[in-house]
Structure 1
């Protein structure tokens, strides 16, 4: 944490970091103020002195969790120039999610989307925006690959993005519910093969 942050900002950041895995694991409804005080070692008053309510903590935590996943994947994408190899980062990361501590409780978009119904419009909106950003990022990688003659010209970027996200999130959900990675591995192998088939 940077020293340029004020004490209040540092406390807010501390609360976000300490409660990030709690929200991602237990979900919004399943996380109580007691969970937050336990995770942070702070009093209820101290938490509410920095955040208006649990909603505000949840929204900040969603951004934090989502940014963590995005930055992790972005670093891996930028490690290679080839568009097909960049797309293969997705099945590789999610196949090995247990090796990535902040992904172990599950994908923050999936965890939030399954819970953020109309009773939590701001949380639902954040999940929808995160999904749109992910879809756009995949589409852009496919378009880039087409322009660099690395991906077949007749490939539909939107179609690839929808299928990639659906396979990852659907397989992730099965892994979470069953506690087994069998289906996840099958789906990620299939996704990797689908991506390799896009190559020129």
Structure 2
């Protein structure tokens, strides 16, 4: 990686927490300049606009969070156990990124005013949902999960429950809602298993 690419990556890494904590509107380019120690031209040499930098910052933040949440999942045998592991990883892995979940933060921030960020969040959500759907469908195909279970419904329930619980936990300043969500989802997941 050349010097220019290293600088570009450093800008993304230092801007990502600011965008994640303050949102697109709340993060000024001066905040980015202060964090990086660069002059305006040094940042704009690598990014055409604040929107482009925010998009790259989201991609970076989400990639880090998604990787942390998936770590070790492939080694878990069985679909139900993989799903339970995913839920536990979400609930038990400390926040890997300042400001909380970049998916939720950016979705809320970009919902009404930033089509580029909104589209990136939609792609990230579809990828997460597709991963969960694939695990459920594999479980159905292997006879481990009951055939009448709807994979999309399970994926939506897991994501909505975890992200909603995360929001409540952040507002309340404790992990109770996330722990409650984990326990409830584990009960639900045990209930989709095919009778042995």
TM-score, with normalisation over the residues of structure 2?
0.92
Which of 51, 57, 64 is matched with 2:53 structurally?
Answer: 57
CA deviation after TM superposition for structure 1 residue 129, in Å = 1.2
Q: Does 2:9 correspond to 1:13?
A: yes
Of 16, 27, 42, which residue of structure 1 is paired with 2:38? 42
Match among 96, 99, 106 for residue 101 of structure 1: 96
Pairing 1:125–2:119 present: yes
Displacement of 1:190: 0.6
Conserved in 1, the CA contact under 8 Å of 2:69 and 2:90? no
In 2, Cα distance between equivalents of 1:111 and 1:53: 20
User: Structure 1 residues 144-153 or 73-82, which shifts more?
Assistant: 73-82
Determine which of 31, 47, 63 is the counterpart of 2:27.
Answer: 31
| Equivalent in the alignment of 2:184 | 190
Shift of 1:153: 1.8
Q: Measure, in 2, the Cα distance between the counterparts of 1:72 and 1:184.
A: 17
Q: Give the gaps of 5 or more residues in structure 1.
A: none
Q: Deviations over 1:52-78 (max 9, x none)?
A: 121111000111111112222333211
| More off after superposition, 110-119 vs 74-83 | 74-83
Deviation at 1:20, TM superposition (A): 1.7
Does the aligned pair in 1 maintain the 2:70–2:86 contact within 8 Å? no
Q: CA deviation at 1:100?
A: 3.8
Aligned partner of 1:164 among 133, 158, 165: 158
Structure 2, unpaired ranges of 5+: none
Q: Which moved more, 1:30-39 or 1:51-60?
A: 30-39
Compute the RMSD of aligned alpha carbons.
1.5
CA contact (8 A) 1:112 1:124 kept: yes
Q: What is the DSSP-based 3-state SS (H/G/I as helix, E as strand, rest coil) of the residue aligned with 1:154?
A: coil
* Structure 2 match to 1:180: 174
Q: TM-score, normalised by structure 1?
A: 0.90
Q: Which segment is superposed worse, 82-91 or 57-66? A: 82-91
| 1:112-159 deviation digits (Å, cap 9, x = unpaired) | 111102421010111111111111111100001111222122211011
Q: Is the 8 A contact 2:87 2:182 kept in 1?
A: yes
